[in-house]
Structure 1
Amino acid sequence: MPDLARLLSPSATASRYLQISSGLRAQITEGSLSAGRRLPASRALAQDLGVARSTVVLAYDQLVAEGYLESRRGSGIYVCDIAPLATPRAPASTATPGLSPVSGMLLAPGAPDPDVFPVGPWAKCIGRITRMAPKALVHLDDPFGDPELRREIAGYAGRWRGITATADQVLVTGGASAGLELAMDLLASEGQLALEAPGYIPTQRFAAARGWSVDWMTVGAQGAELPSQPAQVTVLTPSHQFPLGGCLPIAARQAFLNATADYDGWIIEDDFDSEFRYAGQPVPAMAALDQKGRCIYVGTFSKTFSHALRLGYLILPPGLVDRFRAALRHPTSSAAVTAQRPLADFMSSGQYDRHIRRARRLYAQRYDAAANALESWPAELGQFQRHEAGMQIAFHLAQPIPDTAIVTAARAAGFAIRALSDCDPSGRAQGLLIGFCQSQPEEIRAQMPRLLDIVRSHV
């Protein structure tokens, strides 16, 4: 039985759900709730604590998603064997009121919640590889990456993104940015590049550092608009445009592919957070439509799994495999070798797919909380589109409200929101990029009025 006195405190400022989950997490970490122990039913614990059953259910669900607890059908909730690997947390009562328990900064766009990371299952995969294939943790023969991970990535891309590919077409990189830069370096031989505006800042900076000539594509409500003259290399975020959030229609995707093939050019598809679509199923990737071998797919594990792994991947058209192999004579130093085989094991066991589904369910609740709060903001401040996808929401400010001044003031108050104008090379776009993944729904509902006050102060 958990120590009930450590689950709720009358003086604590955190919500009851957070107090319960934090208290249980601490007791599991220190070993007072041992591995394999069955916890009380949610109804029984709710009665003992004097709270609603839904509060306990939410706390249990969070810890199941994190890997601290395991739900066994028809049997109950049990403690996982993770205590030796966990890091003790400060009690909930010592936390700064309203601040994210993860990073201390609120509403960070594009940032996954580290507490959703499946600690227990991941640790088991590492242990299994350490026992069975220790050499795979320190040595890599193929410059394209671990062969088992590449095979799993090809299967995953087929299941989730509709891409037909073999392991030979997969190249493991040190994150999405490393993959984007590698593809642009090898394909934009004459420096002719088309980028979205507004778009992904690291890509814009990389092109500027290379001195490349950039054609800026206008971005509408549904994504980038096809330019009149195709570029040698076109970089797109078609499934969830960054930062505005639109989804490029099938007809527009096909038009890009046809124009690129006619021009003998290339499309680099940056698919950074497409798994997180909260209404219906994820939209098939643009590369799934490519019949002429002109689209390079860029994926990442930073958004879906962990930033710390620094792993991403390219899926190359068959005609580009030899060209990339000729350029990579050694494994890329930016892709961590140690994590590759354990990640392959994690994916082959089905844990990765289950993790994505859990994360999508949790982030959907947080998206709703953020979007519902924004819908209550006065119309004279601006507007946003409810795309039901991604890891941030773009709120377009009414002119002439300055987004950079708001961001500066918000950061001083503990918010990690970003200015939309930073993503636009012209600086004309004015808005706020607001995240939600690292905060619980009740935290978001408390944070958004504070952010609203900051925006109002700049009108």
Structure 2
Amino acid sequence: MSRPLLGTSSSEIGIDRDDREPIQSQIARQLRSLVLSGRLKPQTKLPSTRALSEELNVARATVVEAYEQLVSEGYLETRSGSGTRVAAELPETLLTSSPKERAREPSRATGRREPARPFRSGLVDWENFPHDDWGRLLGRFWRNPPVTLLEHNDPFGWLPLREAIARHLYEWRGIDCAAEQVIVTAGGLDAFDLIGRSILKPGDEVWFEEPGYPTARRIFSLGGVTAIPVPVDAEGMVVTRGCDRAPGARAAFVTPARQYPTGVTMPLARRLELLDWAADADAIVIEDDYDSEYRYVGKPLPALMSLDKRARVIYTGTFSKVFSPIVRLGYIVVPLALVKRFREERLSHGAPPSLMAQPALAEFMGSGAFAIHIRRMRRIYAARRRALIEALKQAEGKLFTVDASPAGLMLLLRLPAGVSDEAMVEKLAAKGIEAQSLSSHYAGRKREQGLLLSFAGFSEDDLQQAAAKLIGVLT
């Protein structure tokens, strides 16, 4: 059993009650300094908020706020049943073993700790995250929460956040919905589970893209539904093949804006075909729109839900890609006719996500800062995408072909016949590169071979160096 490092926290953290700096800020600042100096190593367990508050003779809420601030910045992480620890992967901050080394080598790049191995999926840029603005919002609502927040009991989430999400979807995705149709979730897994429990029953057949999102397939299957793999072509899910395989399916799970993992965009004609099938079959289309805000080439098509005039689409989104995975918030938009059913299901079986970040996120979105952040990151990600494509050009056509989707945060390298992507993943891992295999996203036996390379969490220089190393391994 790991012992908290700060067993004598009074000697590690000093509180100056005469200082104008708030006590929670003093605690957060000193803990941050201990992490950056290397005194607190990654995965070090911290004292509980109760224990540290008693040792420092401060209110427990003060320590909670300090911890939450550092969690939002990426320095700490919380795990159910194991308390609070220093994050395993820290923000891209200068980490040195001692102040002396930091003074002696201020410009050495080796002093930087990368968030992960190149091409790891699920990462976003952390260096350009608006840490200060976000931290101030969290701190303000934590210190002085409105009475309506303290009395909140709406299972669909904080109403101002749902209103902000509805406005965002109208402006960015063309979806005209009311706040009453929006459900705040604790991310994709929570959304899929709630949708499955609300509209499906054991034995129902559901179409899933092939290849597709394994996590969604797994979550829905846990509810007892039968997953039907439906092939994907250059225009997304092939509706006619779905009709051949399971004409009585109750739902279809699709990623039309950027099919995961191939990156293809479903054109208007295929979208209308899918909607016509859903209406004729009395089925539901579940639209997972996970990172459509990041489109670099051409004008994005409106969301599938914006085309739906017959209330056949349930829309899901997440803040993990466009804001931060640490926030752990997402949303569902349901047709008005299904609002009552979802509300009853949420009340009886599902706990809504924590309110901690919801008011802050609502204000961040309402102020326009969220849209500014997306536009800024889109420029940064576009540059990283171009750098990676350029670095891979020397081997394209010889070792692989590059499927450069006009949107999203990753590229697909298709491998030639006879080359195992799983074997390549293992070889790359031995060289410090973390790629995903395309074949692992298939449910059936027929599997194309390829490598998925995520670029969002890495600098242009890092991506170019990793691309050169990847080419060396494949040669």
8 Å CA contact retained: 1:269, 1:286: yes
Superposed CA offset, 1:282-330 (max 9, x none): 3311000000001000010011111111100001111110111111216
- Distance (Å, rounded) in 1 between the aligned partners of 2:94 and 2:440: 35
Q: Which has the higher contact order (CA 8 A, sep 6+)?
A: 1
Task: Report the counterpart of residue 195 of structure 1 in structure 2.
Answer: 208
After TM superposition, where is structure 1 displaced by more than 6 Å over at least 4 residues in a row? 92-100
Superposed CA offset, 1:14-42 (max 9, x none): xxxxxxxxxxxx9xx98xxxxxxxxxxxx
- Measured after TM superposition, the shift of residue 101 of structure 1 is 4.1
**Identity score, percent:** 33
8 Å CA contact retained: 2:192, 2:219: no
Which letter does structure 2 place at the counterpart of 1:275? E
Task: Report the counterpart of residue 414 of structure 1 in structure 2.
Answer: 432
Partner of residue 159 from structure 1, selected from 146, 171, 180: 171
**Does residue 95 of structure 2 align to residue 90 of structure 1?**
yes
- Distance (Å, rounded) in 2 between the aligned partners of 1:300 and 1:132: 27
Superposed CA offset, 1:328-362 (max 9, x none): 21694362210001100111111101000011110
Task: Report the counterpart of residue 465 of structure 2 in structure 1.
Answer: 446
Task: Report the counterpart of residue 266 of structure 2 in structure 1.
Answer: 248
Moved more, 393-402 or 206-215: 206-215
8 Å CA contact retained: 1:100, 1:106: no
- Distance (Å, rounded) in 1 between the aligned partners of 2:155 and 2:313: 21
Which letter does structure 1 place at the counterpart of 2:95? A
Superposed CA offset, 1:360-396 (max 9, x none): 1100000111122233214132212222210111111
- Distance (Å, rounded) in 1 between the aligned partners of 2:112 and 2:194: 35
Task: Report the counterpart of residue 49 of structure 2 in structure 1.
Answer: none
Query: Aligned in 2, Cα 1:133/1:97: closer, same or farther, shift over 3 Å?
Result: closer
Task: Report the counterpart of residue 115 of structure 1 in structure 2.
Answer: 127
**Does residue 412 of structure 2 align to residue 394 of structure 1?**
yes
Normalised by the size of structure 2, how large is the TM-score?
0.74
- Distance (Å, rounded) in 2 between the aligned partners of 1:334 and 1:403: 39
Superposed CA offset, 1:131-190 (max 9, x none): 553556666310000001000000000000000000000000010221122112322224
8 Å CA contact retained: 1:141, 1:331: no
8 Å CA contact retained: 2:315, 2:334: yes
- Distance (Å, rounded) in 2 between the aligned partners of 1:137 and 1:89: 38
- Distance (Å, rounded) in 2 between the aligned partners of 1:313 and 1:324: 13
SS at match of 2:395: coil
Task: Report the counterpart of residue 395 of structure 2 in structure 1.
Answer: 377
8 Å CA contact retained: 2:155, 2:351: no
Task: Report the counterpart of residue 303 of structure 1 in structure 2.
Answer: 321
Partner of residue 185 from structure 1, selected from 190, 197, 204: 197
- Measured after TM superposition, the shift of residue 429 of structure 1 is 1.9
- Measured after TM superposition, the shift of residue 443 of structure 1 is 1.8
Partner of residue 183 from structure 2, selected from 156, 161, 171: 171
- Distance (Å, rounded) in 1 between the aligned partners of 2:405 and 2:233: 13
SS at match of 2:466: helix
Backbone CA RMSD of aligned residues:
2.7
SS at match of 1:388: coil
8 Å CA contact retained: 1:130, 1:137: no
Task: Report the counterpart of residue 4 of structure 2 in structure 1.
Answer: none
8 Å CA contact retained: 1:171, 1:314: yes
- Measured after TM superposition, the shift of residue 113 of structure 1 is 1.6
- Measured after TM superposition, the shift of residue 88 of structure 1 is 6.2
8 Å CA contact retained: 1:230, 1:259: no
8 Å CA contact retained: 2:404, 2:412: no
SS at match of 1:242: coil
Partner of residue 291 from structure 1, selected from 309, 330, 336: 309
Task: Report the counterpart of residue 149 of structure 1 in structure 2.
Answer: 161
- Distance (Å, rounded) in 1 between the aligned partners of 2:412 and 2:148: 42
